[in-house]
């Protein structure tokens, strides 16, 4: 029987109601081994660190991942609640949204597909990979013993390939539609906190931003081909037709960079690349996309 210190059992014990008594015993061993195992944190590496890798009962630890079932959604809520309590007790809750590719092979992996590899690919060189596509929400908060902001995943959502759902009588959904209920779940758990979601250019989709803008504040990279407009002019009383949603179109970003009348402001960013302060010139203006 694995006996853990009280301070560690207090943290792990918060997830005990999710498992049965029989399953929670190997779960404790896997959690502690995952923190101690160097390199790839597979179950075999975890058991090698904890010691019972040669015991014939070690197959029970593998069955925790292959057969045992537990409410993963409730576990993600408990994990996020613990992370917010420890890392962001008063500040706004900043979440990172991104997708990742898990390179796996196998005949029984029906949900796998072939997508762009975000790590190996570049704008000039396209690399595709086969595997599972996960949509991950991460809590972005500074670590006390470092000078950078780390992302701690708490809710990965599987985004199956386009050919997976039609065989099961469902229409395929893009990965942003998978992230929408996860963002609303955070708002439901913290209705009084300020929530900010940070994403890359893949999150710059108008339908997705319109669906979550009432729940969270989204910060994303815009597209280079995006057309920006001035806010709509004030509406006169009793006009004809629908009200305007945008005003005059603004000049493109390339013209703003080369315009001599553009006002630039020098901003100092802390903890940049190499943990050094970086001086960046920026300009800001309100626009309608």
Per-residue pLDDT at 177 exceeds 90: no
Q: Where are the domains of the chain?
A: 6-66, 72-219, 244-289
* Torsion angle of C-alpha atoms 133, 136, 142, 146, degrees rounded to 10: -30
Q: pTM for the full model?
A: 0.77
State residue 56's pLDDT score: 62
Helix-strand-coil percent breakdown of the chain, rounded to 5?
35, 20, 45
Q: Tell me the percentage of the chain whose pLDDT exceeds 70.
A: 96
Helix (H) or strand (E) holding 135: strand 128-142
Q: Please check whether residue 67 is in contact with residue 93, taking contact to mean a CB–CB distance below 8 angstroms.
A: no
Segment 271-289 shows an average pLDDT of 79
Q: What residues does 279 pair with on adjacent strands?
A: 268
Q: Where are the alpha helices (DSSP H) in 114-235?
A: 175-189, 206-212
> Model confidence over 228-260: pLDDT tens digits?
999 888 888 877 888 888 999 998 888 888 888
Q: Where do we find the tokens 């962001």? A: 88
Residue 3 CB coordination number (10 Å): 6
> Model confidence over 44-97: pLDDT tens digits?
888 888 876 556 677 777 788 778 888 888 888 888 888 888 888 888 899 998
Segment 251-274 shows an average pLDDT of 83
Nearest to 118 by CA among 106, 105, 103: 103
């Amino acid at each position: 029987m694995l006996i853990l210190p009280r301070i560690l059992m207090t943290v792990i014990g918060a997830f005990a109601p999710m498992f049965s008594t029989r399953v929670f015993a190997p779960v404790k061993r896997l959690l502690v081994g995952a923190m101690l195992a160097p390199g790839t944190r597979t179950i075999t590496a975890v058991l090698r660190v904890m010691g019972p890798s040669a015991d014939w009962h070690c197959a029970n630890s593998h069955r925790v991942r292959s057969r045992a079932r537990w409410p993963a959604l409730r576990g993600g809520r408990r994990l996020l609640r613990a992370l917010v309590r420890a890392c962001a007790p008063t500040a706004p809750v900043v979440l990172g949204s991104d997708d990742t590719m898990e390179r796996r092979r196998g005949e029984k992996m029906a949900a796998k597909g072939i997508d762009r590899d975000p790590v190996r690919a570049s704008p000039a060189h396209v690399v595709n990979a086969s595997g599972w596509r996960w949509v991950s929400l991460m809590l972005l908060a500074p670590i006390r013993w470092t000078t950078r902001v780390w992302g701690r995943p708490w809710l990965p959502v599987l985004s199956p390939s386009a050919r997976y759902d039609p065989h099961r009588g469902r229409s395929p959904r893009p990965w942003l539609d998978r992230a929408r209920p996860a963002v609303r779940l955070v708002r439901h758990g913290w209705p009084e906190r300020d929530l900010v979601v940070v994403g890359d250019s893949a999150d710059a989709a108008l339908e997705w931003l319109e669906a979550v803008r009432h729940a969270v504040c989204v910060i994303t990279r815009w597209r280079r081909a995006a057309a920006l407009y001035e806010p709509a002019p004030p509406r006169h009383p009793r006009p004809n037709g629908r009200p305007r949603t945008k005003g005059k179109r603004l000049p493109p970003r390339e013209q703003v960079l080369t315009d001599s009348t553009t006002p630039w402001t020098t901003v100092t960013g802390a903890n940049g690349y190499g943990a050094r302060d970086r001086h960046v010139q920026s300009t800001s203006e309100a626009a309608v996309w």
